[in-house]
Amino acid sequence: MNTAPMTMHALILLTTSMTWVAAPAQSVPDSTAIPMVADVFVLGGSGMQQAQAMGLAQWQSMLHSSKLLKNDLSDHAQEQVSRQRSSIEVFSAQVSFRLRGPAHMNRSGTYLRAGFAHEAHSGARLSLARQVSMPYDTLTSAQTGSITLVDSVYSSRYDISHSHRQLMVDVSVIFLKEFAGRWALYGGAGATVGAAYGSIGRIEHKEDRFISPAAVAGGQWKGTGERTEEISTKDELVFGFYVPLGVSYRLGTHRAFWRAMNLCYELRPSVAQGGAPYAYTGLHTAVKHMFGLRVDLAR
């Protein structure tokens, strides 16, 4: 009796069965591996931006449809024409991916962060003022005989400002060092690219006529005139570079939820080009302070 075929069939059946049984065991994921998305950063804060201020001629060119700026303003003194600062409100959301480092629970390594950033800028500003005093009356005290000169005063003030918002793609490479316990530090380099929107120039003109000194003249005050214009300006592309310098503190070490949560502070020195109106040229340097959460998905 030839048993070779039966032996061959049994061997094939046994091998197939072992492979089928072993397959589920091989597909069990490594619980210590870092997932594809390692962290989620959600940060918000504010900053100050310094850039070259604009003179009146640049404002008139940018807001050429303004009726208020078509007035003869040569007799108004300019204020805030040197370098100035403007405020920024910033929000950023990014996810990080491991680039280099051991693929286990030790989080130290190199990561790529990608997401978006939104900024609100209360940008450039210029103020113009004029005040003219003219003799109005002469008052003589009935008790002392002293003489007080009373003037009629006219004042005119223009406040010109610009604001805009920016929506940008936000990408950075960070080098993260996690210490035993709760603390981690990181630093690296980042870039943003996007566009401005909602760009608006605002002109406020206020005129006052009053008697000075008011206490002597009985507080006489004539009607105050105020006019305001808002003019949309061209939205520009914007790109920039920044250096992220951050520290995070893990809120817990036992429960999974609190192990994942890290309070985070990030300092972003940055430089950008564009975004502001076309008449507002040059590089814009800024320092931004951001606070929020780093959600550690590997924990």
Please write down the HEC assignment for all residues of 15-28: HHHHHHHHHHHHCC
In a domain, 10, yes or no: no
In a domain, 25, yes or no: no
- Average of pLDDT values for 138-145? 62
Give the pLDDT score at 18.
35
In terms of residue numbers, what domain contains 213? 34-296
In a domain, 20, yes or no: no
In a domain, 258, yes or no: yes
Give the pLDDT score at 208.
83
Query: How many structural domains does the chain have?
Result: 1
Using the Cα atoms of residue 172, residue 173, residue 178 and residue 184 in order, give the sign of their dihedral.
Answer: negative
Q: How confident is the model at residue 20 (pLDDT cuts 50, 70, 90)?
A: very low
In a domain, 8, yes or no: no
In a domain, 19, yes or no: no
Using the Cα atoms of residue 102, residue 103, residue 107 and residue 109 in order, give the sign of their dihedral.
Answer: positive
Pairing status of strand 37-51 against strand 283-296: antiparallel
What phi and psi values does residue 23 have, to the nearest 5 degrees? -60, -45
* Greatest mean pLDDT among 14-28, 29-43, 182-196, 227-241: 182-196
In a domain, 6, yes or no: no
In a domain, 117, yes or no: yes
